[in-house]
Amino acid sequence: MKIDAFHYVQLGTAYRGLQPVPDEEVIDLYGGTQHIPLYQMSGFYGKGPSIKQFMDIFSLPEMALLSCVVDHFLGHGLEFDQAHLYKDVTDAIRDVHVKGLMYQWIERDMEKYILRGDETFAVLSRLVDHGKQLFLITNSPFSFVDKGMRHMVGPDWRQLFDVVIVQADKPSFFTDRRKPFRKLDEKGSLHWDRITRLEKGKIYRQGNLFDFLRLTEWRGPRVLYFGDHLYSDLADLMLRHGWRTGAIIPELEREIRIINTEQYMHSLTWQQALTGLLERMQTYQDAESQQVLAAWMKERQELRYITKALFNAQFGSIFRTFHNPTYFSRRLVRFSDLYMASLSCLLNYRVDFTFYPRRTPLQHEAPLWMDQLCTGCMKTPFLGDMAHIR
């Protein structure tokens, strides 16, 4: 199911297996409300006592596998314990990753699974040319990183980075002081010597952030760190160490493309207009007015579902429910200073470009009709006429 920033389930997005759960049943399951109690919600790293937040690339196969297996069991009348099923599926997904099977499959067909990174190389080389110091911290093993980066960036990719750390074991890399850095040779063999400095061109395994900070002296807002996982990559760095963070959200490219379509803009504008009309005209209690209000309410609800389906028929946008940000969106803005679809988006800006924070209106600062908010919506002819409807 999809949950908004205030822990409310978006009705129409709850599924048992591959079948939608009726809104009435969802409300009944949570004691007559759509609200998920705080004690059930996921904790700091997205895992709570009874709810897990799916929010990264590995979530896609895990959700699909869970849904299909549950659907199979229910469709064939097989009894099962949900906790056992969840654990088995989660363990299977983890083992494919941890045991290296995924790396082997990808390495066999780089052309299929990894895009050539001309734009990635352009971003990295541009930063280096402007005197920036780059570092790479990844949970992947060196053999996989080396083959992938050679495919994406070229054989001299290591010359772009001042520090390269593999099998870092994030997010514990950011919090556990006990694991020291170890040097790897070209064959992947570990060295025994104590690490007193991090050298360019060398490969290091594991380690921890506290030793990293001590050896590099890269601290606080002078560092901008990019990652594609809010918890494993960004949360600790922003909250504990004051680094600037950038989130890579590939789905953003498609979502932006959709919100720039005429269908989406017309649908949203009309929704906002209907919302404003309902808010203004609800004081009229006569039968004819009530009939008009009911028709507007129905049309508004239909438009909301149409808009949702533009993004995804089952769940809609990953950033919004009907009107609130999603729980994911809330965590995204909490743990990232910037977010973008790809690192290559930086090519649209100068290296010394400053992103200034935007002042967003609070509820008491916003006008009655949100569509009047600096969007030019009131310049739309039919909305200008509607503004005078009584």
388 pLDDT tier (thresholds 50, 70, 90): low
Structural domain harbouring 148 = 115-218
> 46 versus 55: which is more confidently predicted?
55
Within a domain: residue 349? Answer: no
Within a domain: residue 234? Answer: no
Alpha helices in the chain (DSSP H): 23-29, 59-75, 82-98, 101-108, 110-113, 118-129, 142-152, 209-216, 236-241, 251-259, 262-281, 287-311, 327-335, 381-386
Query: Which CATH number do you get for residue 145?
Result: 3.40.50.1000
As a whole number of angstroms, the distance between CA 182 and CA 178 comes to 13
Which one of 317, 332, 356 terminates a domain? 317
Within a domain: residue 42? Answer: yes
69 and 125 inside one domain: no
90: three-class secondary structure by DSSP: helix
Residue 200, phi then psi, degrees to nearest 5? -65, 140
135 and 100 inside one domain: no
Residues 6+ apart with CB under 8 A from 302: none
Q: Output the pTM of the full model.
A: 0.86
54 pLDDT tier (thresholds 50, 70, 90): confident
Within a domain: residue 377? Answer: no
Residues 6+ apart with CB under 8 A from 271: 300, 303, 304, 307
87 and 124 inside one domain: no
At 265-323, the pLDDT tens digits run 999 999 999 998 998 899 988 999 999 999 999 999 999 999 999 999 999 999 999 98
137 and 183 inside one domain: yes
Give the residue among 39, 17, 44, 13 at the shortest CA–CA distance from 26. 13
At 134-182, the pLDDT tens digits run 999 999 999 999 999 999 899 999 999 999 999 999 988 998 888 999 9
Residues 6+ apart with CB under 8 A from 114: 106, 148, 151, 152
233 known member of a binding site: no
94 and 21 inside one domain: yes
287 and 205 inside one domain: no
At 189-205, the pLDDT tens digits run 889 989 999 999 999 99
Count the domains in the chain. 3
Within a domain: residue 5? Answer: no
Given a cut of 60, whether residue 206 has pLDDT beyond it is yes
The sign one gets for the Cα dihedral 309, 312, 317, 323 is positive
122 and 87 inside one domain: no
Given a cut of 80, whether residue 371 has pLDDT beyond it is no
Which one of 299, 317, 335 terminates a domain? 317
